[in-house]
Amino acid sequence: MISIIIVNYNLADQVKDCVYSLIKNCNTKDFELILFENGSNEKSLHNLVEELKNLGQLNLKFIESKINLGFGGACNKAATKAEKEILLFLNPDTLIENDLINKLNEYVLPEIYQKNLIAGLKVNSEKIFDFSAGYFPNIIFEIMNIFLIGRWFEAFMVKVKTLFINQPVSLDWVMGSAIIMSKDLFEKVSGFAPEYFLYFEEMDLCKRAKQLGYDVKYFHQVEVNHLGSVGSKKNYYFFTKMFYKGKLIFLKKHNSNFKFKVYSFIVRLQFYSQILFWTFMSLKFKAVSDHKIKAFKELLKYLNCPSKISNNYNA
């Protein structure tokens, strides 16, 4: 059996849709569900929990934190309550459109049991690009990101790598929106690193697993529907800031001082190019542009000390 962990922060409606898509398409006897309320301002998740208890179909655990622990911190807390040997972390804005548990049993779990690896599922259906997994940051990708194309090129490379094969592929990291591993491996790598609040915690997890000799595989044959950007559209300032804070922490943690200085110089150019881009875009998207530009200006102040970048939600 599998422990499915879903962390909520102000996305209770999306959690409800996700859970009911699981109930509709999967045998509820095949998994336990752990819902973690991560200090949301809204309280509607409590209504969903009562609703699910009344259905009586689920092995359900509900955990509540009064403060936002960040994605990784919440997942770590939830994992300590998991009773099953396999952990599946699902984003709240995902929908299950097939018998996911059956597909995991067919494609993913045999490899996890045999090799004790980290597995990622396909979370987007774009025809040319695949953002579900990728490669660790490198100088070439970061230079390309000055021109806003590095991540797109990386996603194109992933698509090419998986285009003509029906087997999982080894990659550097897999998206945290649908990531699965044994509880044993999760504990061996000490879970998600506490220094990340949001974004790049899954990349860091994969990096540490690889350093210990474990593999990371992308199972593109198994797909969930990840709506994506549901949370970020509520606050472009916060999510932009958190994305690059996570990126900078990762670059500083996993590179020498000299190499980080090189990366920070390139990232500084990325921020200037983003400010220029969003200044131009403000003619049509002023509210979004204002939030983005404010985030990049704040990031520039703490470029070399990313841990000092605040986790404040409001612009």
Domain boundaries, the chain: 2-137+149-226, 235-308
pLDDT at 233: 64
Pick the CATH number of 2-137+149-226 from 3.40.470.10, 3.90.550.10, 2.102.10.10, 3.40.50.1820: 3.90.550.10
| Pairing state between β 2-8 and 86-90 | parallel
pLDDT at 154: 97
Overall pTM surpassing 0.85 (yes/no): yes
Q: How many CB atoms lie within 10 A of CB 305?
A: 10
pLDDT at 265: 97
pLDDT at 13: 93
Helices vs strands, H then E, count in the chain:
12, 12
Q: Please answer whether residues 198 and 310 qualify as being in contact, where contact means their C-beta atoms are separated by less than 8 angstroms.
A: no
State the Cα–Cα distance between residues 266 and 270, nearest whole angstrom. Answer: 6
Side chain identity at residue 44, one-letter code: S
CA triple 182-116-173, angle to 5 deg: 85
- The helix/strand/coil state of 30 is helix
The tokens describing 193, both together, are: 């690193």
Q: Sheet containing 216-223: which strands, arranged edge to edge?
A: 59-65, 31-38, 2-8, 86-90, 178-182, 118-122, 216-223, 169-170
Among the listed residues 45, 39, 48, the one whose alpha carbon sits nearest the alpha carbon of residue 74: 39
The tokens describing 79, both together, are: 């994992």
Q: Is 313 exposed, middle or buried (0-12, 13-18, 19+ CB in 10 A)?
A: middle
pLDDT at 244: 97
| Pairing state between β 31-38 and 2-8 | parallel
The pLDDT tens digits for 1-42 are 899 999 999 999 999 999 999 999 999 999 999 999 999 988
Q: Please answer whether residues 11 and 39 qualify as being in contact, where contact means their C-beta atoms are separated by less than 8 angstroms.
A: no
pLDDT at 234: 72
Low-confidence ranges of the chain (pLDDT < 50): none
pLDDT at 231: 60
